[in-house]
Structures are given as structure tokens and as C-alpha cells.
Amino acid sequence: MIQVSNLTKRYAGRTAVDDISFTVARGEIVGLLGPNGAGKSTTMRVLSGFMPATSGTVRVAGFDVFHDADETRRRIGYMPENNPLHPEMRVREYLKFRARLKGLGWRKSRERVTTVMEQCGLTDVGRRIIGQLSKGYKQRVGLADALVHEPELIILDEPTIGLDPHQIRSVRALIKSLAGKHTVLISTHILPEVEMMCGRVLIMFDGRVLASDTPENLQRRMAGGSQVIAEIAAPLETLRAVWENLPEVAQFDVSAGEGEFVRCALTPRDGQDLRPLIFHLVRENGWVMRELTRSRHSLEDIYIQVTKPTTEEIE
């Protein structure tokens, strides 16, 4: 659906996006993750056809966004950062205006506006003035606008920024419901959001794409560093000897815990799951165990790890 190859965007004297390439397949929900100023918005602006790239090509549904702007614009629903709307207009009036601008006929635009208003839960506020709506509703108006011409690709720049948890939840649910029918590209710097909504993550930093994978794969890739914590009631020395003799354990750390329990932190070799092994060991020896957990790396750890070296360089 999207093919970005060697995209570079320079503003006067500053490189915002530096030679990035990625593809997004039809029907995917892809999250563009990165700190502020990483080049997410710039990438999206180029994708939407608002600005040209300095070099490189961007194709949407096979059309070049710069040379076939009319074809690509028809296929893209774009909600820019901060969701700009006309505050003096009424919701229904605004959506109809937008539908007409996107080339829909009179009858068709009326039909589509009714549909997207239902889809986005705006039916009750159709007559309200946009400027008087709550932020959550405004965000839905922005989403409805992006959807109104039935685009194949939806580009949303920070769709949940500045919303309260309830509103975030409903906007997320709305975006999730788009999966399958549309291809969605979302930018955010909120990590759990990506984990919840996206099938794939692109981590951007300093104008480059540093990682691109499913959230699960990214976590698996990091699993080599994940630890298993076990609290077992057994003599400390015995445990130390047991871990030392286990070939599956790469690293371990035992410390006396509460009462007779000993806290063991074990790092597996080759990302193996140690938990069944530990269970059998405990059962064979007749020990008492009260905790057995694997501390998974959250996307946050990955994100921090991926973006760390460069952050330090800057500082």
C-alpha cells in the first residue's frame, strides 16, 4: 500500500527525515513510534502529499504522491497533528463540506456523512458547533473527516494526544475497528498505544527508522535479556550449586529473601523459557516455591534501548 524508498526531507539547513525506506502492506495497522522531533510528522506530511520530498520516492497504492497527487489524495484520509478544524462550523456541515472538497457528489456526500457520523459516534452532536465540543468529540470529528471519502489508507498524526483516558479508549477502539478494511498509519510517542493497536511498529529516531517489526517480535528479539525470578524456600548454597550446574542458565543471582525464601534472578541462555525446568526441579526436591515470573521487556525497554546511543550523543 505504501512504498517509501530513500525518502529524505530537508528543511532549510536541517534534515528532518534522513534516507528512510519502508513498506506497508494493505490492511496493516502500523505505528510510527518515536520521540518528538524524530521526523514522524514530516514523514506523514510527505505521505499525504502536502509537502514534496527533497529526494526519494513515496508511492501510495502504486501512485507517486507527488506526480499523481490527485490519484493518491483520493486514496488517503489524513488527520494532521493537533487535528485542525473550523471551529465556527457545525459538525454535520463541516463533514459535508469536507466530503464535497474531496470530490464526493451531493447525494453521495450526504450518505457518507451519515455513515461516518454513526461510525464515529457523532450522530447526537451533528448540529453542535465544533468549537464548543469537548476534545474527544473534536478528535472524532477529525477521524470522521479522514474517513468520509472511504480512503484505502488512513494517516493519523498523534490521534490520541491530549485526551483523557476515557476518550483515548474510545478513539483507540474506533481506530482498531478500522483494521482490515483500511490500511492505517498512526504516529505516536505513547508506547502502550502501539502495543494495543498496531500490528507492526516502526521506531523512528533522529530522522531514521531504527527498527521495524511486530511488537511481539521486537519483544522476542529482546527476550535474550529477559530474566526469570523465582522465590524458593531452600538453602542458599544448595540453590547456588543447582544454578551453576544447569547448562540452560547463563547468569544467576541469588539473595536471601523474606524468612526462609531465597530470591533467584536467572538469565536464560538463547532466550529459552526456564520456568518449566524450575518447576520440575522444585518438585523433585520437594521445596516450597511462592513465586515464578518472567520479566518481559516491555516495548518501552526496547524503545529506550534502540534510541539510547544517539540520545547520549546528543546530550
Partner 1 sequence: MRIFWTLLRRELGTFFLSLTGYVIIAAVSLIVGSTFVMLIHNMGTKPFAMPVTQLFFNSFMYWLLVILVAPAITMRLFALEKASGTFETLMTTAVGDLQVVAAKFSAAVIFYMMTWLPTLAGLVIIQRFTNQPKLDLGAVGGMYLGIFLSGCLFLAVGCLASSLTKSQMVAAVVSLAVGVILFILAYMAQVLPDAATAQTEVLYYFNLFKHMEDFTRGVVDTRTVIFYASATFLCLFLTLRVVESRRWK
Pick the binder of partner 1 from 24, 85, 133, 249 (CB under 8 A): 85
Pick the binder of partner 1 from 6, 21, 23, 82 (CB under 8 A): 82
How far apart are the C-alpha atoms of 193 and 210, rounded to whole Å?
A: 19
Pick the binder of partner 1 from 15, 100, 210, 289 (CB under 8 A): 100
Nearer to partner 1, 54 or 272 (CB): 54
How far apart are the C-alpha atoms of 294 and 229, rounded to whole Å?
A: 6
Residue 85 Cβ vs partner 1, minimum distance, rounded to whole Å: 7
The yes or no reply on residue 108 touching partner 1 (CB under 8 A) is no
In the three-class reduction of DSSP (H, G, I as helix; E, B as strand; rest coil), residue 37 is classed as coil
The yes or no reply on residue 73 touching partner 1 (CB under 8 A) is yes
Nearer to partner 1, 185 or 302 (CB): 185
Side-by-side strand order, sheet with 63-64: 14-24, 2-11, 55-60, 63-64
Within 22-61, which residues bind partner 1 (CB under 8 A)?
Answer: 45, 48-52, 54
Pick the binder of partner 1 from 1, 17, 39, 78 (CB under 8 A): 78
How far apart are the C-alpha atoms of 296 and 273, rounded to whole Å?
A: 11
The yes or no reply on residue 98 touching partner 1 (CB under 8 A) is yes
Q: Which of 245, 288, 287 lies closest to 266 in space, CA to CA?
A: 245
Nearer to partner 1, 51 or 179 (CB): 51
The yes or no reply on residue 86 touching partner 1 (CB under 8 A) is yes
Q: How far is CA 213 from CA 121, 165, 218, in A?
A: 33, 27, 6
Residue 54 Cβ vs partner 1, minimum distance, rounded to whole Å: 6
How far apart are the C-alpha atoms of 312 and 315, rounded to whole Å?
A: 5
Q: With contacts defined by CB under 8 A, name the span among 84-92, 214-222, 237-245, 265-273 that binds partner 1.
A: 84-92
Under 8 Å between Cβ of 231 and 287: no
The yes or no reply on residue 159 touching partner 1 (CB under 8 A) is no
Q: Which three cell numbers stand for residue 275?
A: 520456568
Pick the binder of partner 1 from 56, 102, 221, 292 (CB under 8 A): 102
Q: Which three cell numbers stand for residue 147?
A: 474517513
The yes or no reply on residue 19 touching partner 1 (CB under 8 A) is no
Under 8 Å between Cβ of 27 and 183: yes
Task: Decide the pairing of beta strands 29-33 and 288-295.
Answer: unpaired
Pick the binder of partner 1 from 18, 56, 57, 97 (CB under 8 A): 97
Contact residues toward partner 1 (CB under 8 A) are 45, 48-52, 54, 66, 70, 73-74, 76, 78-82, 84-86, 88-89, 97-98, 100-103, 145
